Structure 1
Amino acid sequence: MADQSSALMDVIGEIKDASEGKDTVEVGQLIDALDERGYGPALAVLPLIELTPLGGIPGFPTLLALLVAILALRMLMGYAHFWAPNWLRRRDLGASKVLKSVEWLRPISEWIDEKLHARLSRVAGPTGQKLACAVILCLCLSVPPLEVVPFATSAPMIVISIFGLALLYRDGLLMLLGFIGAGIAAFAGANLFFAG
């Protein structure tokens, strides 16, 4: 197994390299920067971007959820590489905002790289990955209606990121925590829906 001691920081570095020296960066350029590293890094980092200043842009959480859903669906179908429609790939983001988000994520990424490692790897194997993809798709569907509630989209994005980190580090314990988190989020969402 490849050394994972700086796995997340390497991904953050790829996003930074794709954004530096530009006024704007296309979503497609960020996708291409992550593509060679596989689905785990993309599913770990993209949802975390929702917690940064970019997440405050109206419609951005839904756009991010759509991108994550496309990646999860392709992973579930067994495709090796990412894909996104051209209209999504051509969407521009301010490079300064992307770089600010990268700097915001850097200390968190360093801490995660220090703490996470492979354990209970069979849980994060092919069956666990397929189940995780199905749950991620359900979580993505919850994001658009949650945009009307301030900060509510952060909950499903955090759970998606947990699944991504579990895939990145082959951490079955973290994947189990992701399933528990998804269950709690579903229960809370159902209570909120039926109470309203």
Structure 2
Amino acid sequence: MLEQVAPESEHISVSDVVDAIGFRGFGPLLLAAGLITLAPLIGDIPGVPTLMATIVLLIGGQLLAGRRRFWLPAWLLRRQLARPTFMKGLQHARKPSRWVDRWLRVRWPWLTGKQGSRLTAVTALIIALAMPPMEFIPFSANGAGLALTLLGLGLVARDGRLVLAGILLTLATFVLVAINVF
């Protein structure tokens, strides 16, 4: 699907990708925010978890509101990447994507439908609100990143078990952080 984004263009904009993804874009955006937060060396950079939290607040709020398409600011939609760079990134993602796809199934679709997506949105919003203080507790943002990754992947694959795992991981992360803080 993404290989066909703006086929005549030398550059691919965020707007082109958003148009290709459509409604299912909430899941990939949560997944991307989770993976960035979870990534060693990237997610541990001061400020990155807070930036990802801001994006998740924007995404989660729109998902909770029941929007069919998400809104992003025009300056972000205009951001571009050279087509060869974009295609190289897609190529690198193929092998891990195939491995992950083997484990995904449509399970418990009620957790990824309209009402379930709202529960996912509330969970994502709670995670986003907690992420800035987590920057001061070593590795706690990684738990939030993993939870967002599970929530996003669950929405993309309509796999309610992954969504439930993300919700449970969120609760476990908050309990561990609370134990360490108090």
State the 1:139 CA deviation: 0.5
**TM superposition shift of 1:151:** 3.7
Which structure 1 segments of 5+ residues have no match? 1-9
Partner of 2:18: 32
- In angstroms, what is the RMSD of aligned CA positions? 3.6
Tell me if 1:168 matches 2:156.
yes
Aligned: 1:43 with 2:30: yes
Which amino acid in structure 1 is aligned with residue 127 of structure 2? Answer: L
More deviation, 103-112/74-83: 103-112
* Residues in 1 aligned to 2:16 and 2:49: alpha-carbon distance in whole angstroms: 16
> How many Å separate the matches in 2 of 1:171 and 1:60?
28
Aligned to 2:107: 119
Q: Distance in 2 between matches of 1:45 and 1:58?
A: 18
Question: Which of the residues 61, 64, 72 maps onto 1:73?
Answer: 61
Deviation at 1:152, TM superposition (A): 3.0
CA positional deviation for 1:116: 0.5
- Is contact 2:23–2:69 with CA below 8 Å preserved after alignment? no
In structure 2, how many angstroms separate the alpha carbons of the residues matched to 1:127 and 1:165? 17
Q: 1:148 aligns with which of 133, 136, 145?
A: 136
TM-score by length of 1: 0.70
* SS of residue matched to 1:148: coil
Give the structure 2 partner of residue 190 of structure 1: 178
Query: AA paired with 2:126?
Result: C
Structure 2 residues not aligned, in runs of 5+: none
Shift of the alpha carbon at 1:89? Answer: 5.9
Inter-CA distance 76–56: structure 2 relative to 1 (3 Å threshold): same
Q: Secondary structure at the match of 1:84?
A: coil
Aligned residues: percent identity?
Answer: 30
CA distance in 1 between counterparts of 2:48 and 2:17 reads 16
Which residue number corresponds to residue 3 of structure 1?
Answer: none
CA distance in 2: counterparts of 1:165 and 1:143, whole angstroms = 19
Contact kept in structure 2, 1:146 and 1:153, CA below 8 Å: yes
User: Residues 150, 130 of structure 1: CA spacing in aligned structure 2 closer, same or farther, 3 A cutoff?
Assistant: same
Listed as ranges, the matches of 1:60-139 within 5 Å are 60-85=48-73, 106-139=94-127
- What is the CA deviation profile of residues 5-30 of structure 1, one whole-angstrom value per residue up to 9, with x for unaligned ones? xxxxx66x699x9xxx88xx98x558
**1:108-144 Cα deviation digits (max 9, x unpaired):** 3332112111012123222221111101101011211
